[in-house]
Amino acid sequence: MFIQHYRYIRVSILLMFVFFMVISPILSNAHETEWPGEKLDAIFPKAKKFVQRNVVLTKEKIASIEKELGSKLRQEDHKPIFYIAMNEQKKPIGLVLFVDVKGPRGTIDGAVGLNMKGKVVKVAVYEHKESDAIASDKFLKQFIDKGIDDAFKVSDDIEAVKGQEEASKAVALIPKKTLVISYALFLKRKPKTDVEKKPQPEEPSEELPEVEDLKELMILMVDEYFVIYDYFDTEEGKTEAVEAAKKLATYTKAISQFEPPKNADQQEEYVEMQDKFSKMLKEFAEAVEKNGITDETRKQWEKIDALIKQAHIRFSQEEIDLESY
């Protein structure tokens, strides 16, 4: 009886992690309403499959992105749909985002492929009313290998199509917008080094063990959860608990590398909950490593534990109402 109850608790927590950390692939009123298979294959011909990721930008994200771009986002940009290119090992090799921009003669439809280093691998232009030259390989190939730190400015690092300067500027905004949105949501910028300070050696990154799928990763996360749980219960095994907290934080960041399961459709609320939970885990891991068991870390753990139980209750219901959360 005890073993069955223990297994039930573990499965409950496993479901909780899926609930919190995975953004589901659902259709929305964004750029592509049908599966753009041929376009995706043309951008990443070596991909074995594509996973759709829908995101709803918060007001804060929109303001931050617009500030960096120096221009307003279109309404369609507020709910971007990303297509993650996966290889045979179910690992991501890049992403695709379909983007519209306003040209001199109307809307220009395009798409951009980025690799995992945040570099442009391809820019495509589809429907438009401009000169065909803006969709030519000769013009578009100059965007390849550019990244977030490039200007994407005509007469700077971009050569405009002759007589089509304004249209060229509009097309240059397609990869720039893709990069800024992607970095705001998924990708990480390299920290700028201070030349006046002596460079510090980089800390070794926590490497993930070889796992086949998301379910296997979740099982590892549940195991680390109980290491921490036992530590606060018995006050023994600090070293193991510290390592478990670090691993749990690392595993949390790695969930997006795998194909997500189907989730509920309250997208914006889930994004906010995910950000909140990720931040709590990171702060908790740092506190446990530095201080061990204290009144503060106990409070942090109690909040995390309570959040886990609440999440499971909501996840087990057929419909989830977040208003009373």
What's the pLDDT tens digit per position in 24-72?
A: 443 334 455 688 999 999 999 999 999 888 888 889 999 999 999 999 9
Q: Are residues 165 and 225 in the same domain?
A: no
Of 94, 84, 96, 77, the closest CA to residue 31 belongs to: 77
Of 97, 82, 55, 63, the closest CA to residue 272 belongs to: 55
Q: Quick check: is 204 in a domain?
A: no
pLDDT digits (tens, 9 = 90+) for 168-220: 999 999 999 999 999 988 777 766 554 444 454 444 444 555 555 666 667 77
Q: Quick check: is 78 in a domain?
A: yes
Q: In the chain, how many domains are there?
A: 2
What is the rounded CA–CA span in Å between residue 121 and residue 123? 7
Strand partners, 94: 85, 115
- Specify the pLDDT at position 55: 86
Q: Is 299 in contact with 52 (CB distance < 8 Å)? A: no
β-bridge pairing 49-54 and 81-86: antiparallel
Q: Are residues 181 and 294 in the same domain?
A: no
Q: Are residues 40 and 165 in the same domain?
A: yes
Q: What are the backbone dihedrals phi and psi of residue 184, each rounded to the nearest 5 degrees, phi first? A: -70, -25
Unique residue bearing structure tokens 């005509």: 154
pTM: predicted TM-score of the whole model, two decimal places: 0.58
- Please enumerate in sequence order all residues whose Cβ is within 8 A of that of 75, keeping only pairs 6 or more positions apart, or say none: none
Q: Are residues 168 and 216 in the same domain?
A: no
Q: Are residues 37 and 155 in the same domain?
A: yes
Give the largest CA-CA distance in the chain.
78
Of 88, 80, 267, the closest CA to residue 185 belongs to: 80
Structure token digits, residue 260: 């997500």
Q: Quick check: is 25 in a domain?
A: no
Q: Are residues 9 and 39 in the same domain?
A: no
Note down the domain range covering 71: 31-185
- Domain-terminating residue out of 185, 219, 250: 185
Q: Quick check: is 325 in a domain?
A: no
What is the rounded CA–CA span in Å between residue 297 and residue 178? 39
Q: Are residues 222 and 148 in the same domain?
A: no
Q: Counting beta carbons within 10 angstroms of the beta carbon of residue 213, is it exposed (0 to 12), middle (13 to 18) or buried (19 or more)?
A: exposed
